[in-house]
């Protein structure tokens, strides 16, 4: 419950009521808050999204246009993050260098993303999975076509319903799609507070990032780091709890 309290305070500071922000009867919002919610209690002077799900490009660009953004070329890619997040990423990179390590992005979309990119990533999982499950007889052609005809954000609750029946949409079809890609309009990359590191398997790299406010917060998304802007010892005060997966540590909302 502590997580909700911290979140409520964050929102109050922006004159947004918790009720306006979060509809607990909305299965998508509930799930997104549980899985990706750590971002909403981030500190360090960053701006958090005032919505759990952005519904279109206008909502995303409206939010992004009010951010203070830094742009840097890292590992050959132009990346954009909120100022504080970039500052602490550059600190991490410097510290890694002093230890003969490097921290580099996995690709061009490792930091800032726009709405369309989240839609395309979503479709890259949903479309092959619909085909697979239709062929496997778990889904009728009519059901698959119906999902294809929906707007991206309308597809999300339908996919969640199928996953409850064991029809999974992650890349390897073995788990929920939320551990593979974020539903459209929900990626932490839209908030410019996420970075996908190529060296995520290196424990020292993870320690250096954590020392500088960057933590893994999405269980199963191993290369994905979120800027929370505090030391690890403060994370439980933000209503986050520690879970382990694949011998790595994740900080998720304690709900
Ligand atoms: Zn990521």
Report pLDDT for 13.
85
Percent of the chain whose predicted confidence (pLDDT) is above 90 = 91
Report pLDDT for 14.
85
Q: How far is the CA of 85 from the centre of ligand 1 (A)?
A: 14
Q: How far is the CA of 138 from the centre of ligand 1 (A)?
A: 30
* Average pLDDT for 61-69: 97
Q: pLDDT band for 217, please (50, 70, 90 cuts).
A: very high
Give CA–CA dist 31/24, Å, rounded.
9
- Residue 1 pLDDT greater than 70, yes or no: no
Q: How far is the CA of 80 from the centre of ligand 1 (A)?
A: 13
- Number of Cβ atoms within 10 Å of the Cβ of 165: 9
Q: How far is the CA of 142 from the centre of ligand 1 (A)?
A: 33
Give pLDDT tens digits for 11-52: 998 888 999 999 989 999 999 999 999 999 999 999 999 899
Please name which of 200, 161, 195 lies closest in space to residue 177, comparing C-alpha atoms: 161
- Residue 242 pLDDT greater than 70, yes or no: yes
Average of per-residue pLDDT values in the chain: 95
Identify the bridge partners of residue 252 per DSSP, sorted by sequence position: 241
* Average pLDDT for 64-85: 97
Q: How far is the CA of 111 from the centre of ligand 1 (A)?
A: 7
* Angle at the Cα of 65 from the Cα atoms of 21 and 92, rounded to 5 degrees: 90
Give CA–CA dist 219/147, Å, rounded.
26
Report pLDDT for 129.
97
For residues 41 and 10, the answer to whether their CB atoms sit within 8 Å is yes
Give pLDDT tens digits for 87-142: 999 999 999 999 999 999 999 999 999 999 999 999 999 999 999 999 999 999 99
Report pLDDT for 155.
96
C-alpha distances (whole Å) from 186 to each of 17, 99, 117, 127, 205 are 20, 35, 11, 19, 26
Q: pLDDT band for 210, please (50, 70, 90 cuts).
A: very high
For residues 172 and 121, the answer to whether their CB atoms sit within 8 Å is no
Q: pLDDT band for 180, please (50, 70, 90 cuts).
A: confident
Alpha carbon 194 to chain centroid, angstroms = 7
Report pLDDT for 179.
87
Q: How far is the CA of 136 from the centre of ligand 1 (A)?
A: 30
Q: How far is the CA of 225 from the centre of ligand 1 (A)?
A: 7
Q: How far is the CA of 223 from the centre of ligand 1 (A)?
A: 7
For residues 189 and 120, the answer to whether their CB atoms sit within 8 Å is no
Percent of the chain whose predicted confidence (pLDDT) is above 70 = 100
Report pLDDT for 220.
82
Q: How far is the CA of 217 from the centre of ligand 1 (A)?
A: 10
Report pLDDT for 57.
95
End-to-end CA distance of the chain: 5
């Amino acid at each position: 419950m502590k997580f909700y309290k911290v979140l409520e305070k964050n929102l109050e500071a922006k004159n947004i009521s918790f009720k306006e922000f979060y509809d607990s009867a909305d299965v998508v919002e509930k799930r997104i808050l549980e899985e990706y919610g750590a971002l909403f209690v981030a500190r360090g002077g960053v701006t958090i999204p005032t919505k759990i799900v952005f519904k279109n490009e206008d909502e995303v660009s409206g939010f992004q246009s009010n951010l203070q953004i830094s742009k840097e070329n890292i590992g050959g890619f132009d990346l954009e993050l909120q100022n504080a997040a970039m500052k602490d990423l550059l600190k991490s990179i410097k510290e890694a260098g002093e230890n003969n390590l490097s921290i580099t992005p996995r690709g061009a979309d490792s930091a800032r993303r726009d709405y369309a990119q989240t839609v395309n990533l979503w479709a890259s999982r949903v479309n092959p999975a619909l085909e697979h499950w239709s062929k496997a007889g778990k889904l009728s052609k009519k059901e698959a076509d119906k999902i294809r005809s929906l707007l991206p954000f309308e597809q999300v609750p339908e996919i969640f319903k199928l996953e409850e029946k064991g029809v999974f949409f992650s890349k390897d079809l073995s788990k929920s799609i939320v551990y593979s890609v974020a539903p459209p309009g929900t990626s932490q990359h839209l908030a410019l507070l996420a970075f996908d590191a190529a060296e995520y398997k290196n424990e020292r790299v993870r320690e250096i990032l954590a020392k500088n406010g960057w933590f893994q917060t999405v269980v199963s998304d191993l290369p994905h780091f979120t800027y929370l802007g505090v030391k690890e010892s403060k994370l439980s005060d933000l209503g986050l709890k520690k879970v382990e997966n694949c011998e790595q540590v994740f900080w998720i909302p304690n709900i």
